[in-house]
Structure 1
Amino acid sequence: MSTLQIGLAIIGGLVLAGVVAYNAWVTNQSAPRTVRERGGPDAARADRDGDETLPYSPADLAEHEIQRIDPVLGDMPGAPAAHDPEEIAAAAAAVSINPTMGQPPEKRPGLDALIDVITPLMLEHEVSGDALLSALPGTRRVGSKPFAVEALSAATGEWESPRAGQRYRALQAGVQLANRSGALNDIEFSEFVVKVQAFADAVGAAPDFPDMRVEVARARELDAFASGHDAQLGFTLRARRAAWSPGYVAQHAARLGFVPGALPGRMVLSGSHSGQAPVLSLVFDPQAAMAEDPEQSALREIALSLEVTHVPRGEQPFARMRQAATALAEAMEGMVTDDGGQPLSVAAMDHIGADLESLYDALDSRDLSAGSPQARRLFS
């Protein structure tokens, strides 16, 4: 074999080796990041002792002092302003989340004249809880609105849902004036009257119905207020380079205090009180979470969302949302964007946070403070 042939063979081998190496590099770069690659040979020790490769921990967020943002009025009082596309997209980037997902069931709040039509049912004598339970309607809704019957306990003097083995000296029935389905209308009010009258006849009570026109007008006014002061906000976190596996996302989120929700692909940050709605929700593709080998599933984006009216102001949910988004983006080499993929500026998020303070003030002025039982019922 000539010297030229040997040289060409060597060059061909080098080119082939380069192609193989390049393809291997591309494959490695496009593979989703997994939990295993984070700590190298000392990953197990790092997980036991605390991952020193992460730039944050739950304590970092807990100890961080959050500055209150002075309210800035937008175009609509109490609603996030929309002066430029970034701010509009930030307000619209939310994912609809069930606020009680992953939480134990809480006791249903009682009827409240602020958000309910309440009809007293007069009794001539005490009635047993067993008799009331047997006479209750088969459904607890009137149209799209929740319906309830409460009884005044002869033993405790408190209003409660009827219970077997108890005695009651007064009754009241109610239907919610408004929710996210809209205001109570004439047809629903009439259905309420029919349902209550049938129950009253069965237990020997006399209902005292309020005026329909007054209550329907009150429902419309409450619905108008609620429509102008509802807010569901969200950020989208997008991978800058390599995709993420579900386990990789879950491990980083867990270090910020997120725990698995009731559905695949959902994690929640619990509130400070038992039974309270989650402060934040983190959502990613449920199909990826349920894959046979989740570590081979590739996620290019995740959503971080806040149901504003369901979380108490004192939890400082928006500030914590920004902190969590920033920490996750830094640790996972991602960026915080709106739902259109445009990066969110600090100024845009500051403006939204200020407008939320105005929204909280408006809710407080109507005794519908964010996170209260009344607010959670109205904005549902």
Structure 2
Amino acid sequence: MSDLQVGLISLGVVLILVVLVFNWWQDRRMRGRMREHFPETDRDPLMGDVTPAPGRREPGLHLAPASGDLPAEDAVDVDPNCEAVIDVTFAQPVPSDRLHAATQALRAVGSKAVRLFAKNDNGDHRAILREGESYASVQLAVLLANRSGPLTDIEWSQLWTMAQNLAERFDGSVEGPEQARVMARASQLDALCAGLDAQVGLALRLGGTRPVADVTRQVKDAGFMLHDGQLAWLSEAGMPRFVLLYDGVQVRDVQSDGVDRIDLLLDVPNSPADSQAFSRMASVGRDLA
């Protein structure tokens, strides 16, 4: 072997070592910058000063024992911004126990929650029925829109049927807004809510185009799993905490063979409740980087 060949081999070894050292240094620097921007703490920066949500309470007219400590009128009332109301007026006041029994099944129509309110024979507003009282009317308030979409004509018809059945049971009358007007309000509210959805994302630049197949294999090894055609980081219950995109495109919609950027997207309204949601996503992003 000539001196030239030995020199070329030595030069090649040196260049390889230089590349390895440079990559190691670049990785260390990137991880340091990520920790500066997204430090791992016990408190999520997006969840500061959050009061734990109270336990879920099913809608409906509940029955409270008579007590002198109760206010003259209940403060909770219909929300005209997000509910539509059907009024049922009774010919004669209905005792609280009979009304409570008749309204136990009136909790929802389709995917929309129904809240019930009442007025006693003195005209006092009630969100909770009280023992010993009688009631002259009931309001059925249905949610106009939620994550399942706007209130449908079928759901509104179901609520109207419920109101009619209640009126027939206690010899009452039904009054409510026109269906077309309610549907228009529901569509407007749904469009407004869709524009307010909160999404938080992180972008990871790959430093060059990488084959999609290679990147997919690596992110799966890191813990991402396919869920409904998208790569997602799943909770213990199997629900997506956040999803992974290639150059801003869902995995199922990728048409190119290469990818330059990985995006992690946290869809806040659709994600499981998690006080460490953003910190968890940032930690996964650091590991991928």
TM-score under structure 1 normalisation?
A: 0.37
Between Structure 1 and Structure 2, which shows a larger proportion of strand residues?
Answer: 2
Between Structure 1 and Structure 2, which shows a larger proportion of helix residues?
Answer: 1
| Larger Cα-atom Rg | 2
Higher RCO structure (Cα 8 Å, ≥6 apart): 1
TM-score under structure 2 normalisation?
A: 0.47
